[in-house]
Structure formats: C-alpha cells, structure tokens
Structure 1
Amino acid sequence: MLFLISDDLNTRIGCYGDPLVQTPNIDRLAARGVLFENAACQYPLCGPSRNSMLCGLYPDTTGIHGNAQIFRDSIPERWSLPQAFRLDGYFAGRIGKMYHYNVPKSVGTNGHDDPASWELELNPAGCDRLIEEPDIFTLRKNAFGGTLSWYASPRPDAAHTDGMLADDASWVLERCAQRNDRPFFLAVGFYRPHTPYVAPKEYFDLYHLEDMPLFDNVEEDNADVPEAALLSRKKEQEQLTDDLRRQAVQAYYASTTFMDAQVGKVLDTLKRTGLDKNTIVVFTSDHGYFLGEKGLWQKQALFDKVAGVPLIIAEPGRTAGAVATAPVGLVDLYPTLTEWCGVPTQELMQGQSLVPMLRDPSATGRGYSMSMVVRNDRQAKQRYYGYSIRTQRYRLTLWDDGKRGTELYDHQNDPDEFTNLAHGDRKSDPEIAQVIRDLTQKLETERTKGMPASGKRTEYKVGNWNPMLRIDD
C-alpha cells in the first residue's frame, strides 16, 4: 500500500479537467486507476480532516474540530488506518505530513503525529524551511502558513522538503522490494501546495501571469450567500490588486506542478523496483482550496472548491482509466483499504467501503457525502456548526440548523455554485422546496450517524489556534 497525500490541493489538476495546471504524473496514475470525480473531505481544515480520514470517523466522533490536536486525546483506543495495517503484520512507515503539522514551523519534526501508527518516521526539512524563509513574500509580516505567501526558489528540487520526501520514499521502497516476506503501508505526505508556495523557479516559469484566472463580480456572486458561509475570509486578503492575485495563483500552480514532479519520482521508483505489480496506490489531498472565488482564499468553507478533493485509487490488474461519479468522502478510505486488503478493523466505521466502485465505477454507493465546519459567534460567545451534504446533483448547506442561513446549489446547471436556490423567493418553488426537505432529512440522518453512540459530540480541547473555536477572547 502506497498512500500519497498532498496538502491543500484542490481539483485544479489535469486529470480533473483543468486546462492550465500541469500534473502529468498524477494524470498517469489516474490513467491506471479509478478517479473519484465527486470526492469530499469531512472538514476543510488540515487537522480535523486528516484525523477523520485516518480514523474512519466523522469529526464529531473524533472530537477534532481544530488543528494542533490528535485523536489520541479524545478517542485513545481507536486504531488509526496505518495502525490497523501494522497490527495485521504490515510494515508501516511515514515520510512527511500525515496528521496535522504547523506549516512551515513543524516541518522537520513529528508535528502532531501519532507514534502508534508507525514503525518508521522520517521528517526531512529542506531549503524552504531552513534557508529561504527570509526571502518569502507574505501578505502578513512574519506569517507564512496562515496567509498568502510565496517564493520562486533558485535551488533544485532535491534541496526542497518535498524533493527530499520523494528521495526518502524511494529509499524506503527500494528496501521494501528487497524483502518480499512482509507487506508494507507507506504513507508519503507532501507539503505543497500549502503556503508558503515555495518551489523552484522553473515551475513558476511554466505559468505566465497574464494567463492566471481572476474571479471578479464577487459582490454580485455573494448577494444570495449567508454571511456564515463567508466567514473564512481574512482581512489582509481582501481588496488585493490584480497583480497580487495573479502572483498568488501562479505560485499555487507552480507549487502544485512541483509537488506532482515529486509524485512522479516515487511512482518511477515503484515501477523500477517491480513493486508496481502488486502495490495499491492512493493519491488524495486533505481538502480543497479557494483561489479568489467568492472573494475567498484558502480553506474553512463549505463550497465545492474547498470541500472537494482529488481522489485516485489504482491497483494493478484492476479497473484502469475509469471515473466514478458517485459522491464519496475521505472517511470512506479506511473501510475501503482495509476491506480491499483483508485487514481486520474495529467494529465502528462511519464511512462506506468503496470496493464496489473500484470493481464497478458506475456503482452509486451511499449517494452522498457530508462535510462540516465550526463557526464562532464572538458577540454571543457561542459556537455554531455548518453541515453540508453533497449528492451527485445538489449541495445543501445548513448553518446553525438553518437559523443562520441555508444554501442549495444545483451542480447539473450551476457547477460553480453561483446561484443559491434556497435564497429568497427561489426556495418557494415546489420542486426546490421538496429538494430542500429531502436533503435536510438525509443530512440529519448522516449527522446522527456521525455522532458517538451517546448522541453527544466527543469532547475536544480548545487550546489550539483555530479562531473558529474560540469564544472567550
């Protein structure tokens, strides 16, 4: 099992139909596997998403709604996905970021990792962390990971953290190939394109500023959107000049293509060692990402561009070059991979197995995915929750059970989510009203399923940086 994950990568990649972003290596992986067209994270923030994915449980059950936390503090008896493989006799190794890391501060460390998940942990740190930070342009002084920041580096791939990750992964795979008496679960967590967008200059040169897309008419677009849906915006990211916006998009694209090149190195090693003949490969991201759409940047929103993720699963001799269109979630990976490999698990599993879709990509599965995010009303000193359900055609989002707003988007006719059908007089249309009722019922069913047996959210620590969780400062 080779599990590859990117950080903050949306679906702006070649195999998902983007005409600009160059990702030839991810594309060739998709050509020999199944691409899940409508995959979603369960919480569009690194820590909650990764803990949910690696536990096979929704965030309300893991108790992780912010960064700088690990599920062992809330559900210590849970086996993580790699731990389940490890308990079944697999060698389990991690290179780079799998659980939450403060980027770039935690690069080169174990971050907020789970030692029980691994036998081997490698934490390289390259020039982007150790040398180049003083050269990085940032919108907020002395801040890199939490805002927009970038740098076109003069140093080669191998000097960067992600380049070192690829080399380390190749080193481990070569040794796995030398002993075929024990299967492996190798997780490789790339840091790009998470901010700061640092990559060798040659990748920046692939993208001309005048070609970078800009998203205008934001006020008109957001006129029918509840305020709660837009609270991920940051002050320094408002009113950016066109030039800065183009530079930010260029840097994100450059970082994406740089990361893709490192994926290619790992896949090349897999083939060179012969491991490609019997290794399942997974590629995904922890959540999507805004690049100026709706006037927003980065994450913590429940629109498709942020909740949606790339997901590709490839196994030798199985379905190749296929597309599964049914909605799925990262929470589904745990039951999928353990079933596929015959690995025993604990009884509680909140995701669905995607094995039927891997055998027949036209299978419909559960028919929807669910994502959530926490918001903070500082004036009222209370938190509230946004939950979103995505079917193949619609996305319904309820803020504070609808008291702070409802959104409904028809992806068949409005794939970019410009028109909120739950706004104003639109929602009184009988067909729209029925869709809202049906999806609200499905959402409530999945929310209940996503809770612990007690019916109450797992307690979590609030001693972390996530401002959406703070009500007392």
Structure 2
Amino acid sequence: MKSYLLLSLVCLPQVLFAEKKPNILWIVTDDQRADALECWNLAKTGNKESKLGYVCSPYINKLASEGVLFTSAFCNSPLSGPSRASMHTGMYPHHTGMFNFQLKHNEHDRAQPMIPELMREAGYSTSAFGKLGYYIYRYAPKMTFTYPDSHYEQMISERKIEATRIADFTWPNEGKANTGVKKEVWFYPDRRSVSYDICGKDVQDTPENKAIREKFYREQEVLTRSNGEIIGGASTMPTEKTEDGRILEVFSEYLQNANSSYKSIVGTQMQGPDTDKPQFIHLGFHFPHTPVMPSKEYRDKFAGREYKIPVFEQWEYNKMSPQVQAWHRQFSIFSLTPEQMQQHVRDYYAFCAMGDELIGKAVERFKLYCEANEQPYLIVLVCGDHGWHLGEQGSIFKMSGFLKSNETAMIVVSSDKKKFPAGKVVPDFAEYVDLAPTFYSAAGYNLDDKRFDFLDGRDLYLTANKKIKSRDYVIAEVQTVGGNRALIRTKDFSFSMRSRKEAAVPTIKSIKNLNVKWALECTPEEAEMGLYDLRIDPMERNNVAYDESYRKLSEWFRNKLGNIVLGDDRMDVVWTEKNLYNLSSFARGSDDKVIEIPDKIIPKIK
C-alpha cells in the first residue's frame, strides 16, 4: 500500500502537467512560398532545393522534424486581408463576406467570435506581436485603419514598430493623403535616415527628390517593379534591427517579463505573461513581403546563385480569361531584364532565409518559457498568409487562382508527441480555416457542441492522425483585378471562374443580390473559366476550359464551385453599415468535400 501511494505521488506532477492547457505560439509569415522550405521540398520532390534553385531553412527544418509537416496546405484567399480573416474566424470568405482589403467589423447579427475571443473565454491570456492584417475592427460610422482593434488583450503591431523608427524602414502608407505621393524613410544603425517621395504617374517628380532616391537605390542595390514597389535590395540594418528582427525583440521582451509590467522598446507599457494562465501568442512576421530587402548578411549568402526562371509563352497568355490576362498584365515579369529577375528571386529567398533564423530564435525562446514554467506547448507555423509567383504564369505577385498564389505549408509541433508525432509528413489537403478549430480543441473546447457549427475547418490533429476522411478539394475566393474570382482544386484539376458580374463591393443599393446566380446562368465565356488538367499540366500553363474535350468537365466544375460559394449560405456585407447584409442559401449543403465526377466527362490521357 505504501509503495503504491509513493508511486502515485511521484506520478502526480506528470498527470497534472498532462492536463494543463498548452501555451500556444502561432507564427504567420507574409507572402512566403512553401518551396522556401528545404523540408517541404524534400517531402514533395526528394530534393531540398526548390524547382527554381537554392533555398535555406535550417531552423524550420528542425521545427518540422519535431512535429507534423502539412505539405498540401492551402490558403482560403490569395490576398492578405481575407486570408488572415479566414484564419481568425475559421470561416471561408463566402461565409463572412470578407474578400478584400475593405475595413470590416464583426458586429452584425450573424457574426461569430474569433480566435482571440474564444481563447480568452477558455482562460488564455492573448497577445499579438507584429502583423495581424485581418482588417477586422470595431464598428464605427466612419471606420479608419487606425481605429482601435481590441481582439487581443495586448498587442505591439508592425506599424507601431515603424512609427517609433527603431527598425529599417517606415511603410509608405504614411505619405501625403490623396496627393499621389508616398514617402519612404530608411534608417541606419548610426541613426541616420534617408527619405524620398514615390510619385504617382500624375505627379511631377522634383530633381532633388529623384537624386536622393536614385542615390539610395544605387547604394542598396534596390530593384523596383513598374509601380515603384521594391522587389529587391539590401536592408540598411543588420538582421536583428530589421523590422522582422524588432518583431522578434518585442515578442522576446514579453516572455522575459513574466508576472511583471515593463516598458517595451516601442514605448508601450506592457504586462508580461501571467504564469498562472496559459498563453496564446500570435507572432506575425513581415518577411518576405515587399519591400524585399533582406539584411546584407543573408543577401551575401545568396550572392551569385542562379535560378531557373519558369517559362511563360504567348500562347499561355492567349488562353487565359480576360480577367486573368488583366491580372497578368498588371504584375508581369516582362518589365524586368533577366538579371533583374534573377535578383528578385535571390533576394526573395534570402529574405526567407533571414526570417528562418528569426523563427528559430522565437521557437527556442518560447520553449524555454514553457520549460521554465513546466507547461506544455503547441507551436503552429503558417508559412505564408498565401503564396507568391516567381515567374510562374509570367508574374511576380499573388491574388490569382493559380497554384503559386494559394499553395502554402503548415507545421504543427506539440510537447505531446502522441497528438502530433515528430517527423510526420501529411500529404492530405489542409486549409487555413483548420487553424481555429485546432486552437479551440487544444484549449479544451468540445467541437461537437452546436456553438461551433459555424466553423468551416477541422482540427488538424484529426487530419494528421487519419481520424477524419480527407477532403477531395480545397476552395478559395478573392476580390482580385476586375472583380471576384473563386477557385476549387482537387488532386487532378484546378478550376477558377469569375464569381460575380459586378466588380464593385456591395453597397446599400446593390446588397439585394439579385444577380447572385449570374456565374451559374451566364454563358461559359462570360464566366471566364480557367481549367487546368494537373495530370498532364502540373505547372498550370494550358487553360483547357474551352477545349471541346473539356467543355463538359468545365461546366461540371462551374456548377460544383458556384453552388458552394454562391448558394451555400453566401454572405455579402455592406461594411459601412453595422447590420446590413444578404444571405444566399439556394444550394445549402453543397460543400460536401466530395468530388464525384462522372467518368464519361473526364478526358482520357495517354
């Protein structure tokens, strides 16, 4: 009896530890391609280099070896704002009405709580460092980008870091409103700065401003695209003092000040983590978003590297729909010389490698905090709020229905290896709407409760451990160049189409949605479809939507996708009003996650 009691006492701390809610670190990068990760490339192709060439990610490789790597992860909108909104709500864009960069709120009568709200209800302290970017604010009659956002209890944003001028640059949004002029300011370690204006096409540049800008561009080897956006160059700061380095620093400050108040490097009075409560921390990095300016240290590591730029030919453009052609023209690579294109790819991957080091440090410091307090942990890394084209489809951008705009990678690591086994690779489809249910499950919620019926995603634990039938497809929608475009992707096909006739956002006059079925009832040509047969065209070069042998298949996908995004409880919202929206439910239940295409309409391949 005595020995049994002693054994029970010895085991008691382990039992209590196992029952604790895990501290959660959620890391999100910006515009990052999955192939910037050696571990992802190795799992997909057997080669740690990307198909374009050299990449470097030792810290993320290590993280992946400790948990589960999802190699077929996809965003639910290939644009930052709606993608991040889908993550934070656990709902598809067509269920929230969040398709673009419009200022939005979560206060209409169909609104559902978001991640930080439900985590707080579960007993978590919630904090956010760096970029959130979901564009969901508290409602006000005249909403602005600076209107306070109160979803996380404590927050230091990347904009706050820029405003205090302790990093390498300030974002050009601080320019002169409505003048066609934006100001860029860059800072040096010795506290010097250089500033210049970026003038719109209707604004006359001054000789003085042009001289300052061109001198800076020469010194930092800056590469710009036709609209002035910086897509290559060297940062003025070392890694630890870039914007991403400072984001890591404000996160680290927080962990280092447990159970005490402190003044952050940005001047904000903060309260460090309460070690009696589990922590939910969102860490949003800027890299490799424009301006693509990695530190000189990492840029030098990639110097001289040559990359295989994807081929794009005129016939591919000719077969694109008009909407997709407009996207291509706006973000085409053809304003760049071959050497400039090489520089963009080099600097992009160098920026990702720089960020890899910062992620490694963030993970290490978070684990040390958990170990010091004998607390379990869950780490979720989202590599890119969406993807990025590096010449695929002749483009350098995002916001399309193509693979490189939507394909990403996710890594989940838990101190409980039974839940997320170390070194496991999962090729099944995963979507960003899966993040919210993963966090809620970890927090102890029962997702079978009716209150969670609004969730579109599934706990990644279920996918990782084959405890749920895998999806047959993933979906997304975005308000892109020329209007809304929706997409569906299966193992064998990718399909996209114009989902709304109108290019404008909903207004008080248009909200009745009289045209909601337009994409299903218009002519096939008006629907501007794109269909790619991935069995023979994995790079999505040949749009076969209007080829005679694929016409019936195109129509099948048009109906499948259209019924989901237009008729399965679609929300269109007038965000300038507190409670004005339209709900379209003519095909409720269409999103069944199953693809059952009649064999007779699938073209045979050799």
Under a length normalisation based on structure 1, what TM-score does the superposition of the two structures give?
0.83
Verify the 8 A CA contact 1:209 1:247 in the aligned structure 2. no
Instruction: Determine which of 324, 330, 335 is the counterpart of 2:432.
Output: 330
> Cα–Cα, structure 1 residues 61 and 32, in superposed 2: closer, same or farther, change >3 Å?
same
Alpha carbons of structure 1 residues 118 and 210: separation in structure 2 relative to 1, 3 Å: closer
Match of 1:259 in 2: 355
Return the alpha-carbon distance in structure 2 between the equivalents of residues 26 and 342 of structure 1: 28
Judged with a 3 Å threshold, the aligned counterparts in structure 2 of structure 1 residues 448 and 216 are, in CA distance, closer, same or farther, namely closer
Which letter maps to 2:186?
A: I
CA shift for structure 1 position 252: 0.9
Q: 1:313 — aligned with what?
A: 412
1:219 aligns with 2:318: no
Runs of 5+ consecutive residues of structure 1 not aligned to the other structure:
102-109, 378-382, 463-473
Question: Which amino acid counterpart does residue 416 of structure 1 have in structure 2?
Answer: M
Pairwise mapping of residues 440-455 of structure 1 onto structure 2 (< 5 A)? 440-448=558-566, 451-452=569-570
For residues 304 and 40 of structure 1, do their structure 2 counterparts lie closer, same or farther at Cα, with a shift above 3 Å needed? same
Q: Distance in 2 between matches of 1:315 and 1:393?
A: 33
Distance 1:451 1:419, change over 3 A: same
Answer whether contact 1:100 1:113 (CA < 8 A) is retained.
no
Q: Quick one: distance in 2 between partners of 1:222 and 1:113?
A: 42
Residue 127 of structure 1: which of 168, 182, 190 is its match? 168
2:234 counterpart SS class: strand
Q: 1:138-217 residue pairs with structure 2 within 5 A?
A: 139=224, 147-175=229-257, 179-217=274-312
Superposed, which structure 2 residues align to 1:69-84 within 5 Å?
A: 69-72=103-106, 77-84=111-118
Partner of residue 340 from structure 1, selected from 439, 442, 452: 442
1:70–1:114 CA contact under 8 A, matched in 2: no
Please tell me the residue identity of whatever aligns with 1:159. Answer: K
> 2: distance between equivalents of 1:113 and 1:91?
23
Q: Which amino acid aligns with 1:127?
A: D
- 8 Å CA contact 2:239–2:297 kept in 1: the answer is no
Give 1 or 2 for the bigger CA radius of gyration.
Answer: 2
> Quick one: which amino acid aligns to residue 15 of structure 1?
C
After TM superposition, give the deviation of residue 183 of structure 1 in Å.
0.4
CA contact (8 A) 2:331 2:397 kept: no
Distance 1:224 1:30 in 2: 39
Moved more, 177-186 or 42-51: 177-186
Against the structure 1 CA distance between its residues 37 and 235, is the aligned structure 2 distance closer, same or farther, given a 3 Å change threshold?
closer
CA contact (8 A) 1:69 1:100 kept: no
Shift of 1:265: 0.7
SS in 1 for 2:294: strand
How far, CA to CA, are the matches of 1:40 and 1:450 in structure 2?
21
Which residue does the alignment assign to 1:281? 379
Q: What is the identity percentage for the equivalent residue pairs of Structure 1 and Structure 2? A: 25
Alignment correspondent of 2:465: 359
Letter in 2 for 1:207: F
Considering Cα pairs closer than 8 Å and 6+ residues apart, tell me whether 1 or 2 has the greater RCO: 1
On the 8 A contact 2:186/2:236 being kept in 1, the answer is no
**1-structure distance, mates of 2:231, 2:93:** 29
Q: Which runs of 5+ in 2 are unaligned?
A: 1-23, 42-47, 136-143, 171-184, 188-193, 196-215, 260-272, 500-518, 578-606
Deviation of 1:209 (Å): 4.4
Match of 1:295 among 385, 394, 416: 394
Query: 1:247–1:206: structure 2 CA closer, same or farther, 3 Å change rule?
Result: same
1:394 to 490, 493, 497: 493
Shift of 1:80: 1.4
- The corresponding residue for 1:24 is 58
Structure 2: how far apart are the matches of 1:71 and 1:372? 19
Q: Secondary structure at the match of 1:230?
A: helix
Q: Distance in 2 between matches of 1:274 and 1:151?
A: 38
Of 404-413 and 73-82, more deviation after overlay is shown by 73-82
Deviations 1:159-205 (A, max 9, x none): 11111111222232344598542101100000010000122112112
**Alignment partner for residue 417 of structure 1, among 540, 547, 556?**
540
Q: Is the 8 A contact 1:62 1:71 kept in 2?
A: no
Task: Give the Cα–Cα distance (whole angstroms) in 2 for the partners of residues 168 and 448 of structure 1.
Answer: 42
Partner residue of 2:586?
Answer: none
Task: Return 404-413 or 26-35, whichever deviates more.
Answer: 404-413
Is contact 1:62–1:75 with CA below 8 Å preserved after alignment? no
- 1:288 and 1:299 in contact (8 A); partners too: yes
Residues 155 and 200, structure 1, Cα contact 8 Å, conserved in 2: yes
Tell me, yes or no, if the aligned pair for 2:224 and 2:232 is still in contact at 8 Å: no
Instruction: Show the 5 A alignment for 1:240-259.
Output: 240-259=336-355
Cα 1:80–1:347 change in 2 (3 A) is same
In structure 1, what is the Cα distance between the partners aligned to 2:96 and 2:546? 33
> Residues of 1 paired with 2:433 and 2:146: CA distance?
20
State the TM-score, normalizing by the size of structure 2. Answer: 0.66
* Displacement after TM superposition at 1:245 (Å): 0.8
Instruction: Determine helix, strand or coil for the equivalent of 1:28.
Output: helix
- Are positions 1:458 and 2:573 aligned together? yes
Hey, what's the Cα distance between the residues in 1 that align with 2:280 and 2:186?
32
Is 1:5 matched up with 2:22?
A: no
